[in-house]
Structures are given as structure tokens and as C-alpha cells.
Structure 1
Amino acid sequence: MTAMPRPRTMVLPALLAAFVVGLPLSAAPVASAEQRADKTAYASVTGSAEFVLPYYPDDDVRSFSFDARAAPYSRPLPGTPTGLPTDARGTLTVSHYSAERNRTYTSEGLVDCLVTGPRTATLTAVITRVSDGGPVDDVGKRVGFSVYDSGEDKGRSRDRVGFSWNGVNLLPSRDAAPAEALVGTCMAPAAYAPVTKGGYTVRHAELLPMTKY
């Protein structure tokens, strides 16, 4: 992405089992029906904010908008029929006003992964639409974001955001210019870009244990 918008199995793979630290698979705790029904207890990231690039000052206006909510064990994959505790749903909007071109470009995406800690989150989304003039090759690409919620949204926000392009996710090579690496689910750099307007709210929730199958 450019600067802008730029039937069941008996054994689950180690990837899923690793989320239940220190417990054998047969002893994994089970999420209650009440816990699963209470969607308010699920993690989420919401909000919209403008930010600046600390390493590249310019007159452009960049912003991200998130409406992402955890949807644990909702995305079955080959080898993981239950899905993962980090599964999520929601929407993403990227907006970039180019001062040089006097034009705003936007991208939209669907969230597929979310993991949180206190006041922090990483999430990924797959781009579904790019506005005219934007990088159309980005449609279908997964991009990653990180969010720091300072909890101080009155007055100037101290929130921060990070994202997986603009040189932070490269594959160095001895013989050629580095290529941009693919982004896996929930993968993003630290939240390095300071928010200048708006803000984000991170609702932290522990990853739910797997159910029995």
C-alpha cells in the first residue's frame, strides 16, 4: 500500500492450542454460553483520528477510522475448523488528502483479526475498495494497524497509531530494492504516529478459550 491511501477434526493445530498456555488440550477451559452471548465483553477498537508521520513532515492530512469488534472462533480455516480467538469483524477507512494534488484518496476494508491489551490493540483488515486514482492493486491486500489509547481524549489527544506500509514492513535484499512483505493476521508495528485530531477507544478483553469439539 502506498503512503496513502497507500467436518471437525480430532486434533487442533499447535497454533490454536498455544493460546491456552500451560494447559493440555483436554484440560482447556470452555467459554460459557453466557460469556459468548455477552458481546459487550468482547474487545473492540473504535474511533477516527488524524495523525502525522514523525519522520516525514508535510502538509498532507492522513486519517484512519476503525469500527472493529472481536468475533472469536468465527472464521474457520483449513486445519482450524473452530477459527481462532483473535477472529474479528468490522470496517476500516483510510483517508489521505494530498496537498500537492489537492485531492483526497480513500480506501475501505473489512477487519479480520483483533487482539488487545490494556489501552493497546493490533488489528488487520483486507482492502475491499479504493477510490479513483488510488492504488487499485491494494484491493484484496491485508494491511495491519496498531492503536494506543491514552485515555485522554478531552482536549488534545495523546493517542497514537501505526500501520504496515511506508517502509516498516520490508524484505531487505542484497541485490534489489526491498519488497514490501505480506501482512499476516493481527500483525502491525508499534503505534508510532502521534494523533493530532480525534482519537480512538480500545476496549480490552482477554482472548476467550476454545470450546470442546
Structure 2
Amino acid sequence: MFPVSSLLRTRKAASLAMVVAMAASATALTGATAASGSPRERPIRASVSGSAAFRLPYVEDADIRSLTFDAHAAPFSRPIPGVPGGLPTDAYGTVKVSHYSAERDITYTAEGTVDCLATAPGNATLTAVITEVSTGGPNWVGIRLGFSVQDGGVDKPGRVSRDRVGFSWDDGVNWTTGAGEHMDSVNSCMAPAAFAPVTKGGYQVRHADMPRWPTG
């Protein structure tokens, strides 16, 4: 049988050898991960995704309204006059608008191309230029519309969603002061607060800070 002191020295040596082996293994793994281009090594980009129906808090009707987003940040990818390198809020993706009118018993739809996205934790604003509108829908083709999203987190079973959504063509927003008329078009990334509660479905906002302007 080993003496107690000898046994302790043996255990300490074994523990030290294990720590060294683990450190070496971690170093090798880190090197392999960097070499393989792990997602952790790639820049994080903001995004908004999901589809949801919502209600207007100031209207009671049988209409069904929904918005679907698939938007992704792509900084400095859209050259514009005066800014050939693009903007840190540049983005791509699609927006789909659907509105079932109970009065007319018809569903109107529209689709647009995302051109701007800005996020904060749990929140986002984005804009899209409309490219298609179904027959009988509003004259939106070529117009930029604004959207806002509030991601309230994972919904718990049996509880109402905490997500919300907003949009720029609502009757209560985007008026020209003193003109007495409603304006549809907005500038990039401009949208009101997410004022409409989600009733079915939901959204996911992935936040990432905007990158710095390139230098040199």
C-alpha cells in the first residue's frame, strides 16, 4: 500500500497532467474551428423573420390582417447617389402583406423587397419597396413602406403573444402636417412604433449592432 504522502503526490501529478491535456485539446479545437470557418468566426447580422396575424387596437371588425417578414442585414451593399459604398442599414429580403376584407369577402395581398433594416434588442424597423399587388389592392407598386416589429420572446402555452407590429400606411400615422392628407411612401428604415398586438403566429428579431463605416 502506498504511503499517504506518496498517494497525494501521485494524484496531484495526475490532475496536472489532465489539466495540461485538456488545455492542449481546447487549443487544438479552437485552431480547427477557426480554420473551418465556424459561424462563431463570422460576422453576426441582424434579421427579422416570421409571420403573424394582428388586430388594430382602435378598430373592431371581422377583417384578417397579417404580415410576413424575411429580412436580413447586408451592410454597405446598396450604392446610392452620393454614397457609393452603401449604408450600414442596407438589407435584403421580402415582406408580404395580406388583408382579408370581410365586407368585400376578398383577400388583398402585396409583396415588397426589403432595402433597410435597423434593430435593437427585441425590436426592429425595416422598409420595403412594393413590387406586386393583387387585383383590386392599393396602388403601392414602386412605393416604399415602413414596418416595425416587437419580439416579446417565446410565447408560453395558453398565453396571448407579446409580439407586436406596426406599419406606415395606417390611418393614424404618416400624415403630412397641415396638408390634411395621408402619405404612403416613407424614407428608408422609417416606421412607427409597433402598435398592433399579434393574435396568431409571431416574429423573431435577431439583433446586431450596425458595423462601423469602412475607413481608407
Could you state the TM-score of these two structures normalised by the residue count of structure 2?
A: 0.77
* Aligned residues: CA RMSD: 1.7
Q: Compute the displacement of 1:212 (Å).
A: 2.4
The CA deviation string for residues 184-207 of structure 1, in whole angstroms up to 9 with x for no partner, is 000000000000000000000000
Greater gyration radius: 2
Asked if 1:129 is matched to 2:169, the reply is: no
Asked if 1:160 is matched to 2:164, the reply is: yes
Q: What is the identity percentage for the equivalent residue pairs of Structure 1 and Structure 2?
A: 62
Aligned match of 1:169? 174
Letter in 2 for 1:164: S
Q: Compute the displacement of 1:181 (Å).
A: 5.8
Letter in 2 for 1:148: Q
> Conserved in 2, the CA contact under 8 Å of 1:87 and 1:112?
yes
Aligned match of 2:42? 38
The CA deviation string for residues 26-81 of structure 1, in whole angstroms up to 9 with x for no partner, is xxxxxxxx99x836x10000000000000111110000000000000000111111
Asked if 1:61 is matched to 2:64, the reply is: yes
Asked if 1:72 is matched to 2:86, the reply is: no
| Alignment gaps of 5+ in structure 1 | 1-33
> Conserved in 2, the CA contact under 8 Å of 1:171 and 1:180?
yes
More helix by share: 2
Letter in 2 for 1:142: R
Q: Distance in 1 between matches of 2:184 and 2:63?
A: 25
Q: Distance in 1 between matches of 2:177 and 2:188?
A: 21
RCO comparison, higher one (Cα < 8 Å, 6+): 1
> Conserved in 1, the CA contact under 8 Å of 2:120 and 2:207?
yes
Q: Distance in 2 between matches of 1:38 and 1:140?
A: 34
Q: Distance in 1 between matches of 2:145 and 2:200?
A: 22
Letter in 2 for 1:158: R
After the TM superposition, which parts of structure 1 deviate over 2 Å for at least 4 consecutive aligned residues? 152-156, 176-179
Aligned match of 1:85? 88
Aligned match of 2:33? none
Structure 2 CA distance for partners of 1:47 and 1:103, relative to 1, 3 Å: same
Asked if 1:146 is matched to 2:148, the reply is: yes
Aligned match of 2:210? 207
| Alignment gaps of 5+ in structure 2 | 1-37
The CA deviation string for residues 125-169 of structure 1, in whole angstroms up to 9 with x for no partner, is 00000011111x210000000000000334331100000012200
Q: Distance in 2 between matches of 1:181 and 1:101?
A: 23
> Conserved in 2, the CA contact under 8 Å of 1:50 and 1:198?
yes
> Conserved in 2, the CA contact under 8 Å of 1:172 and 1:179?
no
Q: Distance in 2 between matches of 1:117 and 1:172?
A: 29
Secondary structure, counterpart of 1:170 in structure 2: coil
Letter in 2 for 1:150: G
Aligned match of 2:98? 95
Could you state the TM-score of these two structures normalised by the residue count of structure 1?
A: 0.78
Letter in 2 for 1:127: I
> Conserved in 2, the CA contact under 8 Å of 1:120 and 1:148?
yes
> Conserved in 2, the CA contact under 8 Å of 1:108 and 1:130?
yes
Q: Compute the displacement of 1:102 (Å).
A: 1.0
